[in-house]
Structure 1
Amino acid sequence: MTTIQADAPVATLINVFTVEPARQAELVAALNQATEQLFVGIPGFVSANIHASLDGARVVNYAQWASPEHFQAMLQRPDAQQHMGEIMRIADNTEPRLFIVCATHSVSAATTPPAGR
């Protein structure tokens, strides 16, 4: 399960893909399939969340790994490299980066302004 919390003991991958809007659904499907069939079984995988932009031009993968070392080990796997090659036949560009969560903010129900304001 994804937990977004400051100082959580995970490495967060945020990967922004640029894609032709006509191929966005195909990219989302490929990422979902690879996650379900491959990544969930790789040591150190924690979670993945796939986001599709409303304009159709981007897909974001917000994934968590147990550590940067687990993520780097995944990158060396031939099956993961094959998946990445397949994804890049759909996407135009990708910008993967590892992050740590520094802060989170939310509005509680008690402080949420009434509708219409």
Structure 2
Amino acid sequence: MKNPFVLINIFTVTPDDQRRLIDLLTKATGETIKHMDGFITSTLHRSIDGTKVTMYAQWESREKYEAMRRNATASPYLEEALSFAKFEMGAYEVVEIFKKA
């Protein structure tokens, strides 16, 4: 398999909305996104200060990720998140993987 297409999405929220966003992203990923063609894995992170939620996700290709974004089943979750969170998407290619020997 070629190197995956990687997304590091950073959401900025108020501390009062951090749990709400985590619940929404958990639901979106668990019920819909992880079942879509090309999905490999994702990891959800929360900042200690309560102002950020970050999701690291891997897809088989950019094309398969973009197909998911066009899917009507997935888009309402992002629309809801954007109603109370600021979103910064970062798209990356894996250059090197380091593992403990």
Give the TM-score normalised by structure 2: 0.90
Structure 1 gap segments, 5+ residues each:
1-7, 109-117
Q: 1:105 Cα shift?
A: 4.4
Structure 2 gap segments, 5+ residues each:
none
Counterpart selection for 2:87 from 77, 81, 94:
94
Aligned CA RMSD, in angstroms, stands at: 1.7
In the TM superposition, structure 1's runs of 4+ consecutive aligned residues that sit over 6 Å from their partners are none
Q: 1:90 Cα shift?
A: 2.9
- Larger relative strand fraction: 2
Amino acid at match of 1:102: V
Give the number of equivalent residue pairs: 101
Question: 1:5-47 CA distances to partner (integer Å, 9 max, x unpaired)?
Answer: xxx5210111000000111011111101110000011111111
C-alpha separation in 1, matches of 2:34 and 2:67: 14
Between Structure 1 and Structure 2, whose CA radius of gyration is higher? 1
- Residue 38 to residue 78, structure 1, CA distance change in 2 (3 Å): same
**Partner SS, residue 3 of structure 2:** coil
Give the TM-score normalised by structure 1: 0.78
